[in-house]
Every structure is written in C-alpha cells, then in structure tokens.
Amino acid sequence: MKVRICVALGLALTGAPLRAARLTLQPAVTVMGVDGAGWVNALYDDDDDGPHPPVRVTPSSVTWVSSLPGVVQMNAVKKGNYDALAEGVSDVSGTYLGLTATATVRVAGRVISSSIVTPADGRTRTYLVFRPSGYNPAVPHPLILSFHGGGGSAAIQMSQSQILPLAERETILVAYPDGTGAVQTWNGGACCGYASSNTVDDVGFVRALVARLKTDYAVDPARIYSTGMSNGGILSHRLACEATDLFAAIAPVAGGLNLGGDFSACRPSRQIPVLHFHGTTDDNYPYLGGVGNGLAGVSFYPIPDTMDDWLRLNGIPGNARVIYQKGIETCAVHTGFPNPVQVGLCLADPPFHLLIGSATYDGGGHAWPGGIQPSATSDAPTMDANAAELMWTFFEGLVPAPAPSVASGRVYPSPFRFGSGAMVFDQLPSDARLQIVDLKGSRIAELTADAGGRCVWDVKTSRGDSVSSGLYFAQITGPGGVKRIKIAIQQ
C-alpha cells in the first residue's frame, strides 16, 4: 500500500531551510504543425529541488510572450495556449513572480482538420491529422492513431501526448480522432460515458477512418498502430480485440480493457503485440482495479489481470526482460516462442503517493509519461520516461507476426451445446474455405472466412436444417495447405 502524503503549497515537508525558487516551462522543446494549437505549462518550484516538486501555475497568473508572433502567436484569451501560424522556430517566454523561463516551439509539418460520416449510423466524426514536413506521397508512411481521454479532444491529445516531436523526426503520420457526446468519450465496452451508454460503434468508426486515411495519405498498411490516454487507452485495447486485422500493435496509456468488464469477450483474430503504460498511484483507473475517482463510475479491470490475459491470448509463457529503467519507471517485456510476438508493461511505481490539492505529483498517477499536465487538477506525468519514444521503439523493434495460415485456425466453443449461440472459427487467412463434414466424409456445410480471418457457423446444414449431435470435422483450406479440426456437437 502506498503512503499518501498531502502537502500545501509553500509549506516544507521537513524543517530544512527553503532554497531559491525556480520557474520552468514544459515542454522545454516541442513541435507543432502549421494550423495546429498547443499550450505550455509554467512549473514553479518554491524550494529549488527541495521537498516540494515543481507545481503547475495557473496560466492566467503568467505573462506570456512569443519571440516570433508570426510563427507562434500566444492566445490572448486562453493564457498559455498558442496558435502555430507558419513554419519556423519561436521562443515562448513566461514570467511569474519576477522569474522568467523560456521554451522553444518548432512549427513544422501541418495539422489538418477533417471529418467523415460513418456509414453505419450517419454520424459526422471529426479528427486531426499531423502530416510531417518530410511526408512524401510516393512513399508509404507509418500511421499512429492516438485517442484522447474521456472529456478530452483531439487537440488536447495532440499536445498532452507529445507525439509530434517524434512524428516530425521519424516522418510518421498521426491521426487524432474526436469521441462523441457533449463530454467526448469512447465506447470501450463497459466504459465510458455517452459513447458506452449509447453503444456508439467506435470500432466501426475507426475502420472507416483508417480506410479514409489510406485513401488520403500514403499509409503503410503493415505499420498502423493505436495508442490512447485513459478512455482512449481502453478503446485501444478493444481495437486489439475486434480490429486486429488493422493494427500491427497497440500501446495504451492509463486505460485497460473493459469490454464487458473483463477479457471474456476479447477474440483477436491473430496474435498482437501490446505495450501498456500505467502508474501504481493512479486513482482514476486504479492499477489493481475497482472504481476510480473519475466520472466513469464503473469497476475497472485490474491491470495485472489485463497483462496476464494478453499473455494468454498471445500464447506467451516465461519471464519478462527489462528493456528500460529510469527512476520510478520500469518497462518489462515478455517475448513469445517460437512466434516472437511481445507483450510488455511500463510501470511508474513511486515510493509514496504525493498529493497536492487533488492532483497526484509523484509521477505514478493518471498521466501520460513524458507528456503535459492538462490542468491544475490533473495528475502530473513522470519525466523518467517518454511514452511516445518508448512505444515507437517497441513498434519499430517488433518482428512482424507471421501471416495467418490454416495451421493457426482455432474453433470455439467445442464441444458445442445447442442454445449457446454459434460456433466461431478464427485466426484464419482471409478467404480461407471451410467445410463441415461428418465422420463418413459427407459435406454438411460450407463457409468462407471474412477479411479478418473469421467464420461464424450457425450449426445448421447448407439447407438450413439443425445439425444432429455427434462428432464432425472442420476442413480448412487456404495458405499453408489443409487442416482438419475435430468438433463435437451436443444437445
């Protein structure tokens, strides 16, 4: 159990004399695309690395100045926010209590605002795309989809996650979609808000969005990834279960899988690499599960169980190896054998829980590692890790999972009992042909796998008659040859 330490600003935790105060701006160096908007936080440390951590200052208390207003223009109404107007580099200065600090904003690439109407429900959905300055329409580029947290927005996620410096350097396309509802959320299953209670088809939206992005930009279909903060992380887990054919890997932050509250409904069509980020002092989505202190009001699935289930679904045994360690942050990854798919956890585990007001300042709270604290009531991120950089290292270091073959096909439930729905075959090559035959070799039914490598059999003959109890074979034909699976059907 973490010991909670609550402090009030200006009061030392020990009797040590206060040292000189200091002001810093965060992020110290960042990237924003032309037509994009971001913000800079001012952090005030009243004892200069003493017992108090640097604390976010109310932006309206700071005087903000841009060295090149034609490149970066400070927002006169939303203090600390800025608009990126033209390519170039501008210094942003903040002055507070006589102290001045400077940050650098490089404006490169472009932020493009777009929308799409989803065919299933006719909703108009909005999203932002960052197109890096090195983008070449003749060359396929990796694509990251980055989903905001509950109550957030595409613009907030763009700044909070700090993926853009990486995307500009590595020439990565990044899409930031918006959720639905007055308080924007994603339907991750049991969570969250409007999207969940109104059963918004966010998986369908993501499929339509990826198809549009492939049309509008040069996207490498083998390098499409998903990440997200909190509720956006929950959606990323769901996408790994239900849209496995679209994504090469996922890297959710501070949000586990809550599809029905646990992993019981998760049926990925193939093995998929997962790198999850979480903190042990997260009170919004508790690391050990349960109801958090946010507005979701649901009992969250524990992160240790989340990781165990991903290991099980990917068929990965054995111990993890540490791939990163600094301060409170440790990343450990399990690698499968003989298929080298990977599942890992980056855990921020501070020695105690430090609260200042209602915000956690120990680095292990509900925050994006290496990102920006969105508000004074939000938890402060650890600077011992940069989630964007770590997830990209994970993505790029993956050995691609082999394409599905008939050998990877599986069936459930087996034995099948009438009244339990349908029999599902998955992890198949797309368009694989499947024949159900009896023990005499007579053909009972024929099916074809969909684009996701999945067949659903209603346990009826091709003529529509119910199949009798007994033993049968499912004969699968496709890449890799022919595979026969024995299946049992019981009344």
- Per residue in 197-235, pLDDT (tens digit) is 999 999 999 999 999 999 999 999 999 999 999 999 999
Q: Looking at residue 263, what is its pLDDT?
A: 64
Percent of the chain beyond pLDDT 90? 66
Residues 6+ apart with CB under 8 A from 464: none
pLDDT of residue 421: 76
- Are both 369 and 438 inside the same structural domain? no
- Asked whether 235 and 211 are in contact (CB, 8 A), the reply is no
- 26: CB partners within 8 A, 6+ apart: 40, 41, 43, 103, 372, 373
3-class DSSP assignment, residue 308: helix
- How would residue 332 be classed by pLDDT, with cut points 50, 70 and 90? very high
What percentage of the chain has pLDDT greater than the value 70?
Answer: 93
> For residue 135, is it within any domain?
yes
Examine the domain organization and report whether 123 and 51 are in the same domain: no
Boundary of a domain, candidates 367, 396, 425: 396
Asked whether residue 110 is assigned to any structural domain, the reply reads no
Band of the pLDDT at 46, cuts 50, 70, 90? Answer: confident
Distance between CA atoms of 362 and 133, rounded to whole angstroms? 36
Same domain, 272 and 332: yes
What is the per-residue pLDDT across 270-325, written as a single tens digit (0 to 9) for each? 999 999 999 999 999 999 998 888 787 788 999 999 999 999 999 998 788 999 99
Q: How far apart are CA 143 and CA 249, in angstroms?
A: 11
Higher pLDDT, 487 or 372: 372
Contact (CB, 8 A) for 38 and 32: yes
* Beta-bridge partner residues of 38: 82
CA distance linking residue 56 with residue 378, whole number of Å: 10
Please state, rounded to an integer, the average pLDDT across all residues of the chain. 90
For residue 9, which phi and psi values (nearest 5 degrees)?
Answer: -60, 140
Exposure of 17 by Cβ count < 10 A (0-12 exposed, 13-18 middle, 19+ buried)? exposed
Same domain, 86 and 176: no
Instruction: Pick the closest to residue 362 from 329, 319, 318 (CA basis).
Output: 329
Are 93 and 53 within one domain? yes
Same domain, 441 and 308: no
- Specify the DSSP class assigned to residue 265: T
Mean pLDDT of 354-360: 92
Identify whether 112 is part of a domain. Answer: no
Contact predicate 13/7, CB 8 Å: yes
Please report the pLDDT score of residue 111 as a whole number.
98
Q: Looking at the predicted structure, is the pLDDT value of residue 120 above 60?
A: yes
| Whether residue 15 has pLDDT greater than 50 | no
CA distance 369 to 385: 6
Which of 72, 105, 138 is at the close of a domain? 105
Q: Which helix (H) or strand (E) holds 32?
A: strand 29-34
Q: Please indicate, yes or no, if residue 210 is contained in any of the structural domains.
A: yes
DSSP code, position 6: E
* Residue 1 placed within a domain: no
Number of domains in the chain: 3
Residues 28 and 149 in one domain: no
Does the pTM of the predicted model rise above 0.85?
A: no
The CATH number that applies at residue 478 is: 2.60.40.1930
Whole-angstrom distance, CA of residue 452 vs CA of residue 54 = 49
Q: How many CB atoms lie within 10 A of CB 400?
A: 12
- Sign of the alpha-carbon dihedral angle for 116, 120, 122, 124: negative
Same domain, 273 and 184: yes
Last residue of a domain, one of 105, 134, 153: 105
Asked if residue 70 is part of any domain, the answer here is yes
Whether residue 151 is found in the same domain as residue 213: yes
What is the distance between the alpha carbons of residues 265 and 66, in angstroms, rounded to a whole number?
51
DSSP string, 222-241: EEEEEEEETHHHHHHHHHHH
The DSSP-derived string for 409-431 is: -EEESSSEETTS--EEEES--TT
Residue 50 lies in a domain: yes
The pLDDT score that the predictor gives to residue 413 is 79
Instruction: Please give the single-letter amino acid code of residue 38.
Output: G
Residue 366 is given by DSSP the state: S
Same structural domain, 100 and 127: no
Q: Is the pLDDT of residue 21 over 80?
A: yes
Question: Within its chain, how far is the Cα of 216 from the centroid?
Answer: 23
Domain containing residue 84: CATH number: 2.60.40.1080
Report, as an integer, the average pLDDT of 225-252. Answer: 96
DSSP for 469-484?
A: SEEEEEEEEETTEEEE
Q: Tell the burial category of 68 from Cβ atoms under 10 Å away from its Cβ (0-12, 13-18, 19+).
A: middle
Interval 402-458: pLDDT, tens: 567 777 777 877 788 877 678 888 778 877 899 999 888 889 899 898 877 888 888
Q: How confident is the model at residue 262 (pLDDT cuts 50, 70, 90)?
A: low
Is residue 319 domain-resident? yes
Distances from the Cα of 77 to the Cαs of 4, 67, 73, 336, in angstroms?
Answer: 36, 18, 12, 52
222 in the same domain as 78 = no
Rg (CA), the chain: 25
DSSP, collapsed to helix, strand or coil, labels residue 388 as helix
Answer whether 217's CB lies under 8 Å from 211's CB: no
Asked if residue 398 lies in contact with residue 414, where contact means CB atoms within 8 angstroms, the answer is no
Instruction: List the CATH number of the domain containing 309.
Output: 3.40.50.1820
Q: Closest Cα partner for 34 from 129, 116, 103?
A: 129
- Read off the pLDDT of each residue in 64-85 and give the average, rounded to a whole number: 97
350 and 312 together in one domain? yes
The helix/strand/coil state of 166 is helix
- Which CA distances in Å does 214 have to 39, 42, 172, 379? 30, 39, 14, 36
Domain that holds residue 422: 406-490
Task: Give one word for 421, left, alpha or beta, with left for phi > 0 and alpha for psi -120 to 50.
Answer: left
